Chain A
């Protein structure tokens, strides 16, 4: 907590501001305690990063993983529907805890960054190095853009109900364009064994997963009406609708999980520990 201000670029951006000194002052931390509180901060940040890298990735992997894992599952009907619905849960819960107790609008972005980190490490180390698939097959989805928007909406409106009604739909609707900003190339048409296929289909076919036959894919089999040729946005709007309510639910779940509640301890055990009375 030194007062000297660094002249470096990052030092200028991340310098201690007068408000920050004011916080320390009104809380009344002495120098040693401020140092200890800072040490505690860093440990918790590290733990939170690892925890969400693990728990959030597990959640996504086992409830929507196939759409995230494979390029030939990223369709127009389910992918822009299921991934936003599935990935809004943790960000909502983590936002709740960080916002309610600390007024930190970073919960969603933290989840997004953690997910991207762990997915890429896993993809490279296992899908690519161990089972030898080229990375094109396993290009993951990315949710960071929606997460940042969710955090910014929370910062602006400061009430979860507005985030649920404005941020959550934005999260769902920006999912598809923010992914297609990198993946459009995988949908160019190719003539493959006498019929038309997208490049993603060709990738999935060429690098075979022996335990994943083609029919296993849960993807669009055709819309019954054309919706002006924009069926993907219909999925997006449906995802937005579901996300509103899931956000509300998961905000409450996040609150419940971060509440300090206790059960009474057995008197015998308390005696062993030297509690009196």
Chain B
């Protein structure tokens, strides 16, 4: 049950472990592990399982109803199976996003100047877990379901912006990676002094770039409506997605900020730790 408790309460609270039921020597073995001590791995895994289930569900849905109801956007089947899905995705995921983002803001750290280095380290690991879940859904979106889009469009005639491949890729996956992209950004800003004191340019790019793929759809569909009804995948019409995708490289800057931040926390705990982080990087942190 400790595992479930961890998922519900998070390890930061250690409710399950600190309860009177457990005496010190009866603590489960995993409470001594790094994974347990730093960061909410349980919640992270829960999120990953949910996303993986959604991805598997989407793939199965495409396999079942893609060719059966997805070929003719004027048919009733298309309205029932595909347009309903789009509405459900947009409403469902965005309302969840708003609730999550508001929660992250309202549960923010209110005394950033006095965050203990141990707590800070836990939060750094949590931030990395946020980023890992972001990259998890980014993979499914920009590789897996984007390839599905290629396969679909080369195979059948494009007759709507809401093809079975777009409905998963653009209206399901992109809102979902916003959940983790913006969520992680807010988490960092509201809990970690180094991300709260000043706005990380790299993190802003890493979140905003991929997020702007959704508005870039306007250019894409405009082009397909007026000039290009044929599918050359490397057509300049698609290069907006490419340039926005490059911003994912800015995760490198976020990584560096975390490396430097964690080094500083290490130094605060352990005076032997030789922190030589370059001052030109760290003046603002």
Contact = CB atoms under 8 A, between A and B. Distances in A.
Interface of A: 26-30, 32-33, 35-40, 43-44, 46-48, 50-51, 53-55, 57-59, 61-67, 69, 82, 90, 93-94, 97, 101, 118-119, 121-123, 125-127, 129-131, 133, 209-213, 216, 218, 253-254, 257-265, 269-270, 272-276
Nearest to A254: B249
B27 interface: no
Contacts of A253: 246, 249
Contacts of A126: 144, 147-148, 150-151
B152 A131 contact: yes
Given A216-B232, A257-B250, A262 B262 contact: no
A258 B256 contact: yes
Contact of A123 (B147, B231, B270, B284): B147
Given A33-B273, A261-B253, A262-B200, 4 more contacts: A54-B248, A58-B146, A131-B152, A258-B250
Contacts of B109: 273-274
Contacts of B273: 27-30, 33
A33 B270 contact: yes
A70 to B, nearest CB: 8
A259 B113 contact: no
B196 A273 contact: yes
A53 B144 CA distance: 9
Contact of A258 (B110, B139, B156, B253): B253
A261 B201 contact: yes
A272 B189 CA distance: 11
Nearest to B59: A125
A235 B153 CA distance: 30
Contacts of A59: 242, 245-246
A55 B205 CA distance: 14
Most chain A CB inside 10 Å of its own CB: which residue of B38, B230, B231, B233: B233
Contacts of B285: 260, 262
B128 A44 contact: yes
B112 A274 contact: yes
Contacts of B135: 46-48, 50-51, 54
B142 A259 contact: no
Please provide the 3 A-B residue pairs with the shortest distance between their CB atoms, ordered closest to farther: A122-B147, A258-B252, A262-B198
A58 B248 CA distance: 11
A206 B89 CA distance: 38
A50 B136 contact: yes
A224 B201 CA distance: 50
A241 B268 CA distance: 50
Contacts of A48: 135
B90 interface: no
B139 A54 contact: yes
Given A213-B230, A274-B113, A50 B139 contact: yes
Interface in B96-126: 108-113, 121, 124-125
Given A260-B281, A273-B196, A53 B256 contact: no
B257 interface: yes
B248 A55 contact: yes
B256 A54 contact: no
B214 interface: no
A247 B146 CA distance: 26
B249 A93 contact: yes
A47 B128 contact: yes
Nearest to A101: B256
Nearest to B256: A260
A260 B260 contact: yes
Contact of B255 (A64, A258, A272): A258
A275 B113 CA distance: 6
Contact of A130 (B66, B193, B234, B247): B66
A265 B131 contact: no
Contacts of B158: 211
Contacts of B246: 55, 59, 253
A210 B251 CA distance: 39
Contact of B253 (A32, A33, A69, A259): A259
Contacts of B143: 53-54, 57-58, 61, 118, 121-122
A47 B233 contact: no
Contacts of B138: 50-51, 54-55
A198 to B, nearest CB: 20
B270 A61 contact: no
